[in-house]
Amino acid sequence: MLINCDLHSHSGYAGGVGQISLDNLEVAMQKKGIDVFGTGDCLHPEWREFLKGNLVEREDGLFSKKGNDARFMLQTEVIFTAAVGAGRKSVHTVLLFPSFDSVERTCKILEGMGVKNTIGRPFIKCADRVDVSNKLSKILDIDDKIEAIPAHVMTPQGVYGSSNPIDKMKHFYGSATERISAVETGLSADPEILSLIPELDDFSLISNSDAHSAALNRMGREFTTVEVGSVSYGNVIDAIRKNRIARTAEFNPTEGRFFLTGHRAKKKGHGDAYCVFSPKHTPKGNKCPICGKKLTVGVLERALQLKDVQGGTREFGELSPSTKDFVRMVPLVEVIAYSLGVVSVVSAKVVALYDKVVDVFGNEAQIWFEKDEVIRKKLASAEVSEIVIDNIIKVKNGDFSFSPAGFDGTYGKLVVGAKEDVFNVNIISGQGTGQKRLF
């Protein structure tokens, strides 16, 4: 059977995050078509106790609220930091746990390492990569079903990110790299981008939302479909380890906040001006033409650098043999808001139409894997307007782009029915022009 998993989220305890409740998550999981959802922040003492008091074990290692079907997996993100080159590098890493017992033992070990556990996403301070390897190994030694997955690998806070860049994964995780089976593509990358990096041929690629709320454009905005004999923690982990990934549902990486290189508006010394570049247009020395500081290097440029340094031979667009099927989606609420010319994805009009569309298919995930003619027929008989139907089908077929693409922490702006050449962006906006809002 195929199940949709979204195994990276954050609770209300992670810094700067809104409240999140299991009830809201369950409603959103049902609408989005997510079968198994990561709890986020399961090491945090209060959230952990809340989960323990409200969830019951259903199958080996998966949990749900009493009497409900939505399955939760115990999950957190941690940040390993270590000296790399002249500075320190922080690398976000997802941890998945098979039991509350293994979570509690991990908390004890972290306490012993002097790790403060007051924010949802604890920092594990390490001297160097040998120390990272030792500390990660100590956690993995607790239970052989605990899984560590480098998170959003291409963003500045990911293992391949542009801050204190490294050439290979083992230059950060040391010998514990051998105990890592999968990496998370993150919003700014997908199997096409990661195929540029040769060492990833040996890893499964998974995709998660990294949601900080149950909002319909956040949770389930990326997910991984795995093939399992039956639903259980062990089976999901086994599928991830053995690359029995059926498909991933991805953001279009150009929407992700770090796709191209640049500096966003409102940065110090920028006012409303921003700049954004494709790799071949990045200014010499990576120097911002507006403020003179170093530009934030985007995912595309980093992936091409890693290809060169690792001796990669595949061109952009050629997929690694280890990659699986994937689709690029835009959250349906965003497609609907765009079609109605409404800015807010939580407006009553958008939500009502979203519910109507989702009711027709059972859940949102279903739509992205449905045939065009089926979508058209079913939505037309539910009296959904032509423009909404057209835009859903266009997005499903990849006939959309983000212009400009995301850069330096700014999401890309959706344009349905237009293509942007991401290899040919060279924008230095004038003072006061600001970024054009397209919807």
* Residue 373 structure tokens: 């003619």
User: Segment contacting Zn ion (CB under 5 A): 91-99, 333-341, 356-364, 386-394?
Assistant: 91-99
CB of 113 or CB of 291, closer to Zn ion: 291
3-22 residues labelled b (16+ CB within 10 A) or e (exposed): bbbbbbbbbbbbeebeebeb
User: Segment contacting Zn ion (CB under 5 A): 39-47, 87-95, 224-232, 385-393?
Assistant: 87-95
User: Segment contacting Zn ion (CB under 5 A): 54-62, 89-97, 167-175, 219-227?
Assistant: 89-97
Q: How many residues bind Zn ion (CB under 5 A)?
A: 6
62 forms bridges with which residues in the sheet?
Answer: 59
User: Segment contacting Zn ion (CB under 5 A): 35-43, 221-229, 259-267, 363-371?
Assistant: 259-267
Q: What is the 3-state secondary structure (H, E, C) of 172-195?
A: HHHHHHHHCCEEECCCCCCHHHHC
CB of 213 or CB of 401, closer to Zn ion: 213
Cβ neighbours, 10 Å, residue 403 = 17
400 forms bridges with which residues in the sheet?
Answer: 416
CB of 44 or CB of 396, closer to Zn ion: 44
Q: According to CB under 5 A, which one of 44, 92, 129, 396 is a site residue for Zn ion?
A: 92
Cα torsion angle, 124, 129, 131, 135, sign: positive
User: Segment contacting Zn ion (CB under 5 A): 175-183, 229-237, 284-292, 303-311?
Assistant: 284-292
11: Cα separation from own chain's centroid: 16
* Interface of this chain with Zn ion, residues 287 to 346, rule: CB under 5 A: 288, 290-291
Q: According to CB under 5 A, which one of 10, 135, 218, 263 is a site residue for Zn ion?
A: 263
Q: How far is CA 55 from CA 182, 230, 438, in A?
A: 27, 20, 43
CB of 71 or CB of 92, closer to Zn ion: 92
The yes or no reply on residue 148 touching Zn ion (CB under 5 A) is no
Q: Which residue has the tokens 């560590």?
A: 148
Question: Alpha-carbon distance 40 to 43, whole Å?
Answer: 9
CB of 135 or CB of 263, closer to Zn ion: 263
Shortest CB 151 distance to Zn ion, Å: 5
Looking at residue 70, the DSSP 8-state letter turns out to be -
Long-range contacts of 59-62 (CB under 8 A, 24+ apart): 59/230, 59/231, 59/232, 59/233, 60/98, 60/232, 60/233, 60/234, 61/98, 61/99, 61/145, 61/232, 61/233, 61/234, 62/36, 62/231, 62/232, 62/233, 62/236
Shortest CB 395 distance to Zn ion, Å: 26
Shortest CB 425 distance to Zn ion, Å: 16
CB of 92 or CB of 257, closer to Zn ion: 92
Shortest CB 249 distance to Zn ion, Å: 19
CB of 20 or CB of 288, closer to Zn ion: 288
Shortest CB 118 distance to Zn ion, Å: 18
Q: Find the distance separating the first CA and the last CA of the chain, reported in whole Å.
A: 39
Shortest CB 92 distance to Zn ion, Å: 3
* Residue 121 structure tokens: 């996403």
Identity (one letter) of the amino acid at 424? Answer: N
x/- track of binding to Zn ion for residues 185-224 (CB under 5 A) = ----------------------------------------
Q: According to CB under 5 A, which one of 96, 126, 142, 151 is a site residue for Zn ion?
A: 151
CB of 295 or CB of 414, closer to Zn ion: 295
Shortest CB 333 distance to Zn ion, Å: 23
Q: Is residue 404 a contact partner of residue 439, using CB atoms and an 8 Å limit?
A: no
Shortest CB 270 distance to Zn ion, Å: 6
DSSP H stretches of helix in 33-84: 45-54
User: Which 3 state secondary structure label does DSSP give 176?
Assistant: helix
User: Segment contacting Zn ion (CB under 5 A): 103-111, 261-269, 353-361, 413-421?
Assistant: 261-269
Cβ neighbours, 10 Å, residue 328 = 21
Residues of this chain that interact with Zn ion (CB under 5 A) are 92, 151, 263, 288, 290-291
